[in-house]
Chain A
Amino acid sequence: MKEVKEYEKDLASIRTMMERSAKFISLSGLSGVLAGVYALAGAVIAYFITYYPVSPFQYRIYSIQEPDKLWKLLVLASAVLLASIATGLWLSIRKARLHGVKLWNATSKSLLLNISIPLVAGGIFILALLYNGHFGIAAPASLIFYGLALIQGSSNTYDEVRYLGISEIALGLIASFFAGFGLLFWALGFGVLHIVYGAIMYNKYDR
């Protein structure tokens, strides 16, 4: 018969095994904060490309139609996205090494598959919106589909990701009624919300 201490260890090991195997714990809160900072910087540059000299809080009646500006925005958005993914990947690799787990495991595979379904669907849908000239609700649509992806992926990682997803969807729905303020809502959703939730996660799990 084992010592009681051993039974306590059994109980503790059940807990760690369940969490470690089902959750992608290598996700770093810091990557959320940095992604938010990149998004805000991108939004400021985008403001100077499109709205300037009109105040960002003012309603913009004419949506961007010039191909020159559209290309600039596309390059800018891709740069923000790539920087965020690269930072997230780098910080996750670092955290995985710290915990002594592999980054590419059954959990991260299922996480990636789960989030890519709403992301790809949303991406194609937004392309269709742009193709048909509905520029006004492209930004709200990206917030909504991103939120859906986060909720889909949240079962494989920290609970905060679920709340972030719900916030993004709510913001996207509000934004869809204020089509002229796309950039402002976009900066709130991808910038401010990422920084807030990233900071919460960093405080809770990374320190």
Chain B
Amino acid sequence: MKNPFENLDKVLEHRVRLQIMSVLIANDSYDFSSLKEMLAVTDGNLATHMKALEKEKYITVSKSFIDRKPSTKYKATERGRNAFRKHIDALETVVKQQKQ
């Protein structure tokens, strides 16, 4: 039998990254400060994880100015959505197998 752990996404195994992707999939787009509030993490911590997700091309970043303040918006890419879906499926399989 195939090992279901192999299907887990290495990038999404970190809980904060998984939570970021959850927010970006449930919403059209989300900005940095709202994400920080939602996840209750520090600036630096969140920035590191956003960079990692960006590097994998799971998310896209767009920067703009609102009332002369910089605002960074994130969106999940199609690639990110697929990876997220696969990762959840794998998580469910892992949990189900262990329960048997």
B residues within 8 Å of A by Cβ?
A: 5, 13, 15, 18-19, 22-23, 25-27, 30-31, 34, 37-39, 88, 91-92, 94-95, 98
Contact residues of A between 78 and 119, Cβ < 8 Å to B: 101-102, 105-107
Q: Roughly how many angstroms separate A13 CA and B17 CA in the complex, as a whole number?
A: 11
Q: Roughly how many angstroms separate A107 CA and B31 CA in the complex, as a whole number?
A: 11
Cβ-defined contact, A10 with B18, below 8 A: yes
Q: How far is the CB of A108 from chain B (nearest CB, A)?
A: 11
User: For residue A7, which residues in chain B have a CB less than 8 angstroms away from its CB?
Assistant: 91, 94-95
Q: How far is the CB of A46 from chain B (nearest CB, A)?
A: 41
Residue in A22, A101, A102 whose beta carbon sits within 8 Å of that of B27 in the complex: A22
Chain A contact residues (Cβ within 8 angstroms of B): what range? Answer: 20 to 34
User: For residue A17, which residues in chain B have a CB less than 8 angstroms away from its CB?
Assistant: 19, 22-23, 26, 38-39
| A23 (CB) vs chain B CBs: closest residue | B26
Number of A-B contacts (CB under 8 A): 56
* A68 is an interface residue with CB less than 8 A from chain B: no
User: For residue A66, which residues in chain B have a CB less than 8 angstroms away from its CB?
Assistant: none
Knowing A2-B13, A18-B25, say if A10 contacts B91 (CB, 8 Å): yes
Q: Per-residue 0/1 for A30-71: is the Cβ within 8 Å of any B Cβ (1 yes, 0 no)?
A: 000000000000000000000000000000000000000000
* A75 is an interface residue with CB less than 8 A from chain B: no
| B73 (CB) vs chain A CBs: closest residue | A106
Residue in B18, B27, B34 whose beta carbon sits within 8 Å of that of A14 in the complex: B18
Cβ-defined contact, B31 with A106, below 8 A: yes
Q: How far is the CB of A6 from chain B (nearest CB, A)?
A: 8
| A3 (CB) vs chain B CBs: closest residue | B98
User: For residue B26, which residues in chain A have a CB less than 8 angstroms away from its CB?
Assistant: 17-19, 21-22
